[in-house]
Structure 1
Amino acid sequence: MPSYTYPCPLRWADADAYGHINNAMFLRYMEEARTRMFREVLAEDEAGRRRHAFVVSRASLDFRAPLHYREDPVDVHVRVAQSRAVSFELTYEIRDADQLYADGATTIVAYNLDTGRPRRLTDTELAFLDRCTEH
């Protein structure tokens, strides 16, 4: 799975007075795609999710074209760009087949919410990231 695609629904409330999707919503679309992509490696119990959490330490986004509100979803493509011992970088494209609306990146840090500190990625998480990395 070198990339993951999430068909993200647009909501009427996402649009501004001009009918454009508000710029802040693009980060939310990236978050929705990322959380769905990582479902298989997230702990099922609350205690496990707290010990094996992920936090965004950096986000960047470049807008390429206006996205107008519509009924059809927009595709959010997510790829693992690189991974290290405690963090990894994801890249995103928010697009249709013929139009790129925005592209961006996030740096994600493996984190233990109970200790309030970064943690090392587990072998399972590293294997998942490797499967999601284009080689």
Structure 2
Amino acid sequence: MADRFVYHCTLRWSDLDAYGHVNNSRFLTLYEEARVALMFAGGRAWGVGTLADGVVIRRHEVDYLRPVDYALGRATAAAAPTVRIELWVEEIRASRFTVAYELYDGDVLASTARSVLVPFDLGRRTPRRISDDERTFLLSYAAAGGSA
């Protein structure tokens, strides 16, 4: 497998449900935050800013393996707890790509997910093909044996 993109995400009080766990719907927000960091910061660091210009979600798939508690002795007045999200590109097609994720609560895998993304021309309001530069960037995070 190529390098994974690793993102440490601070949990927010608003992420919680009535039971003190991270709400199931907020997992998508956490995954989004990591994905945006990959495409905006990571892409621009590679000299590829076009993924930040327009990508839409075609599909999400999330598996919840265990609850993520907000505190568990980790939250202090000085620091909120964090989760670690590792993501990589699982598949690249001509006009879409799939990002896979793992969310860790400490060293424990709490959730896995996949998102199918489509590059999108916001001005024309139409999907577009992945450019050669985008493909090269995405391949740097591609899983070994995945479709590229």
TM-score (norm 2): 0.81
Give identity over the alignment, percent: 34
Deviates more, 1:80-89 or 1:90-99: 90-99
Letter matched to residue 2 of structure 1: D
Aligned to 1:19: 20
Q: Tell me, which stretches of 5 or more residues in structure 2 are unaligned? A: 72-79
Q: If the length of structure 1 is used for normalisation, what is the TM-score?
A: 0.89
Partner of 1:8: 9
Which amino acid counterpart does residue 13 of structure 2 have in structure 1? W
**Aligned partners of 2:15, 2:131: CA distance in 1, in Å?**
36
Distance in 1 (CA, whole Å) between partners of 2:14 and 2:124 is 37
> Which stretches of structure 1, 4 residues or longer, exceed 3 Å deviation after superposition?
none
2:90 maps to: 81
* Separation of aligned partners in 1, 2:58 and 2:143: 23
Structure 1 gaps, min length 5: none
Task: Please identify, of 76-85 and 93-102, the stretch whose mean Cα deviation from structure 2 is larger.
Answer: 93-102
Aligned equivalent of 1:65: 66
Match 1:92 to one of 101, 104, 109: 101
1:2, distance to aligned residue in structure 2 (A): 2.1
Cα RMSD, aligned residues only? 1.7
Contact 2:68 2:105 in 1 (8 A): no
Aligned residues: 129
